[in-house]
Each structure stands twice: as structure tokens, then as C-alpha cells.
Structure 1
């Protein structure tokens, strides 16, 4: 397996990984320019003014929330319109350094942040945080978005802002669940295993999970299982590149072996390695699988397309264990250091977190908790909806301090070059759980220079 370039090289030249991914999406033209050093003139209190402004926004395909928010913002501020470009997350990860350098957007869905801050490609948002009062929000909302001068996350300048706090777990089809005797969410991992086997025995596809192309969708169940087998703090330390951190521990190995057991038992759709995200959701909504591992950003969509028929739960703990956690992180956006309209972009980010209409859209469309002050407005939701279930699960994670960032965000290249091919080989039976973790840890250490 080819190794990943050193992280400090990555910030200037990592987009050469495209040949390994065989992606067809086009990167912006250019290259060879020095990285921007930051917008020379920003006014943290300027907002969007009264002149016509076009905000250039680069977003992730398949997520309606940013477009819904942009439409509502333009309705309130008609002088501001949006030029929106969409790509898959893996493509954004590949192209991020060149996009930020050669055609810097005002707003961009951010992959792993450390390499981008090292290259001077992202704008330091601390002046806006002071001006708009973001520093008065719960610190846990912003700490994942801070990067220090060593490239470690959790402290230092603020380089991103979340559209919301997203969380992953398990959606289930209630009608199919009733066919196998499942009338409520499983309380333990052993009980969940039993339902998976019962679905297979009944001729129902237990799990349709995306894992094809450049996407490692098996990371969703893997990370959920990691939270069942061990604490989340060491996983966050690894993601934040704490000295000596490793993803290859006895607890994570047990989680990966449990996932391999699901694969070996035939609980995933046969074509998992050719299944993309949209196909996964289409099958689930169409009643072709009992479970999918996805995030609360689908809650509004499922309430609309499967009213009353979709449920949600976190990957349950081990039998007799209180261990509980989930991938939960801001849906991160940043402002390019060379952005044309940084003040208006920052005003838009503040509006998302503080405006009542924007917060309502975040809950109803995004299905998750908005950013912002602890006592900010929250819209009412139908207590029987899947949105209510995901919000309740988010509260549970906050209560037990079980949130962890996405393991794909540990370095700039770890998702595309290491996690994805390794879990695809795991799904194909070409690699075992122990090899997946050892390969990923080796790639991680080479990239960060340990």
C-alpha cells in the first residue's frame, strides 16, 4: 500500500492523490501559486451592507441544508445571492488545497482542517467571534474548529464554523422492524445483533450501507461500534493528533472485529462496495433494507418521505455496559483566506446560528441542533417524528460527554488514501480487522511525521 506524503508537503501539493482515487470531478485550474496569507481588509462588523453581493459557496452534494439556508437568507437580504458549487465530500477533500488557493470561495464545506491552516488557506475567524459574541457560546461547540500552530485541533485560532451539530447513528424502518418483532430500539449491542440475524432469516436486507467509489461508508458503523467498546476521548485525541495517539487499541480492534463479523454474517447488502450514498438512502426509503447508518441531517427528509415509519437510535452499548457515544461534530464551513466577501460570509454564519427562521430550518431540514447560545430559540418538533428522536439522542450524547469527531478528519489524506481503501478491502474479504487498523495507523504516523 502506498504511503502518504508528509503533512507539511500536503498543504501545498496534496492534490496529486487524485490519480489514486480515479475521480472524475474536475479540480480548479492553476497551481504553483503561493498560498494566500489572508484577506488584507476585513471589518468584523461590516455585515453584507446594501450593495449587491454574490457569495461563492462550495458545498457537499446530497445535503439540502446549506441551499435552504442560502435561499432564506436571500429572502431576508435581497442584495445577497449565492453562486453554489457541489461535489462529493471525497472530491472536496481531494481538491480543498487547490480550491482555497486558486479560486478561493467565500464559504466552503471543510474536510480535515490542520493542513489547510498550515498552508495559510483559511481565514482566522477570531475577530468575527469577538464581534458577534461567539465566544459566549458553549466552548464545546467551537473547540473542534480551532487549530494551533502545530496543526493540532482543540485550541488556537478559530478557522471554521458549523452550520449545525451533526450526529450519526442508525435509522430503521418501523414496518420492517415489526415483521421481525422489533417494536423499539435495541438496548444492547447483543440485542442489535439478534435483530440483524432475524432480518436476514426473514429475507430482509439487514443493512444497505454505502461504501462504493471514493467513500468509506463503513466508517459510520465502525465508529459507532468503537463508542460501544471503549471511551470516545482517546479517539478524539487521535483525530486531534495528540502526541503518541493511536487508533490501533484493544477496544478499537474489538469494534473492528465486530464489524467484520457483521460482514462475514452477510448483514450488509451484497453490492456494498458499489453502493453510493444516494443509492443507500433510496433503498432505505423504498423499504429495501431494515437499517442504514447515517446522520441526523436525513431526519427532515425521512419525516417527509417516510412519515411515522422511520426510527433512530445510537449504536447501543455492550451488554451490561454504560458506554455510549457517537460521531457528533459541527457541519464545518470555513472562509477562504483570499475570499472576496469575508465579512458577508461571516455575517451569514452568524445569522445561521442566531436567526429564528434559520434555526428552524436547521432543525427541520438538517434534523440536528443548531450552533449558538445555550439559551437560543429552538422550534417545536413533532414528538413522534424521527427529528425528535435524533434531537433526543443528541441530548443523550451531550449528557454523557460521548461526542467524537469523524475518524476520517484526522489528517488531510487519511479518509481518501487509507480509511476508504482499507474498509473496502475489509468488505471484500481481502483484509481483516487487525490489518485495517495497523495500516491506517501506519499511514497516519507517516503523514503527521511521527
Structure 2
């Protein structure tokens, strides 16, 4: 129950963060779903939300009494069903966590649950609803067969999605259930998605945006940075140096479950100054700078031949951090390109031969697949090495400036930048930039 509630809270806070949905109402029933809701309420409080709970029919068992005690000790507000019905929910709350009934519920809801469920139906214009495992009142298999029940904006399935999830048409469908034992997976042949890093939940579907919410207003999309109170201090960065500081930031991003923390945007320009940007993967870094590998005959490769000035940027959203690097680019030595090429899977080695990167495929994808099949047959003997193409290898960006950016409240971000006069200089100057 503790892990289920944490999964629910993590999923809800992902889509409805405290910066946009600070006021949360948890409606908890007398069964296991209610227990999950009480646990989730506690975690949402720790995440920074202001949480109120309506628990109209408490279960008089030690476990549930303990969950209530924990919530009350944190100062969470408990509302009676009468207090809850005093005014529309959308005037007091930004999101509702529906933890009333689970898959064992049968029949019609009785008082006071019927009135609470009515407040959650579309006609009452409730705030976004996050349903725990099964929307209250739905059949575990048929869903809302009558068509008059809840229409939650988010569903958090626990352990595995129930059949009624097929009828869920809301914005966000998450799975929480990293705690499933292997024997249960095998017994029921569960095909569960991979969880990223230390995450307690994973997105598995949803329309992305509730139709009731109307069209997205890009200008209104904003996130409050710096909730963790992190800051950048000149003294700390001056002691570390730019590459040691990057090493620490990169390793932290990798340990926090960031997907492909080595993904970086690479900006290049032609001889005439026409810019181009794309994402590539960082494949190495040391005191010289930053290394990636590509086709030298690609658009970026040709631009770097014409104009060696380039920049890269990393964005690690969970940490609210970015790193920006500007400098000059050169090819790495052939032996370095060889070493990396032969460290790749054999299929990737052949792929470097297959793709004439950035060239138009006049006969569509089939042209690419035909060439891949031909080369795979040519190099079918795995005892024979695949030659590294002469047009494929590494680039090294030697930095002239490296900026470390940390999100802070009210857009007063921290920006500390190292700069040096030339790529061969060992003398870096550290300066703070205005946000």
C-alpha cells in the first residue's frame, strides 16, 4: 500500500505539479483504494501540495488508523462529506484524487458516496480528476457501461492495467507497480514497461490533453524553477574548474534517471553564416573538450569543414540544469575514431556504411533497406572486421566558453560562465551572467 500510494502521488505530481495545481483533494473510500489515497495524500504533501482529505467512512483497522494519524500529524485538513458538498469543487481545488472504490466494488454507490461521485461527474464541472486504478463506479471490465459515470483526466493503474482501462479516454494514463514480484509477472504473463531510473511510475498512454481543457495556450505554459533551493556559488565552481564541474553535473544527471543524459543539441553554421541545429550524442569528454561521432559527408560535417565554430547545449529537466558550450571543432585522430568504431555493435558498424547521411533517397526507404541487406550479406562472416568508412569519424569541440545554468525561482536563474582567450589556453576566467 505504501508503494502503491507513492506511485500514485508520483504520477499525479508529474502531470499536475505544485506550480500549476497546488490544491489537491483526496477522496478516500473504506477499502484498499482508500488506503492508497491516504498514502498518496501524505506524499503529495511532502511534494509541496496543499492537501485536503474527505474520508467519510473510515475503516477501523490498525493499518488505516495509522494512515489517518500520519496525515493528521502533518496538518492535512479532513473534510466531512457535508463540508465537501458546501460549494463546487473547482472553486477550492486544482485537482482531485479519486480513491473511493476499487475493482471489488459492486452495485450502486450508497450515501454519502453517491453525492461525492456526483460532484466528480462531468456535469458538475470538477477540476481534473486522477483516478486510482479504477475510476469510482466503473466496472472492472466494462468500464462506464451506462455512460453516465466519471470521466477522469488521468488514470493511474496499479500493478497492471485492468480491462476497463481500454475505455479510458483521458489525457494521461500511468502505471504504478514497480513492486510487482517476479512470480506474479510470470503467473499472469504480465508484459510491463521498463521504469526509468528511480521513477515509481511510467506513462503508458492517454490522449495527452483533455478535450475539456480547450486548445493549448503556449504563452501560458510555464514552470516554477528552483523549488529545491539549489544555487550556484562562484567559490565552488572556481575551485573545480570547467571540465571537473561538467563531469560532476553529467554524472549527477545520469544517476537521476535522465533518459540519454548525453543527448546534446549541436549548432553549426555554413561559411556564409547560415545556422543549423540538431541533436547528437556525446561520446566522450576530457580536458581537451567534447567528442561525438558522425558522417563527415553529412550536412553538419560539411558545415564544420567550412566553419569550425560550433556550440553544444545539454538540458537535464529533472535537475533544472543546462550546460552551454561554445568553441572550435576539429576531427579527432584516426586511431581514436577506429577505437570507438570497433567498440560499437557490429550492426552499428554496418549502419555507418549503409547511410549516406543527409543525401536524398530518390527511391524512398526501400533504397536504404536494400543497401542494408546487401551490406549485411557482404559482411555476414563475423570473423572478418567491418572496415571503418573513411567518411565516418569523430569531432572534438575545444571549448572557449562553458556556461552552467541552474533554474531558480522568479526567473532569477544562476548563470556562471568560464571563458578563455584561445583553445590552447589553460587560464579560465569565471563570471556570473544576469539571467
TM-score using structure 1 length: 0.22
Pick the structure with greater CA Rg.
2
Which fold has the larger relative contact order, with Cα–Cα distance below 8 Å and residues 6 or more apart in sequence?
A: 1
The answer to which structure has the higher strand fraction is 2
The answer to which structure has the higher helix fraction is 1
TM-score using structure 2 length: 0.22
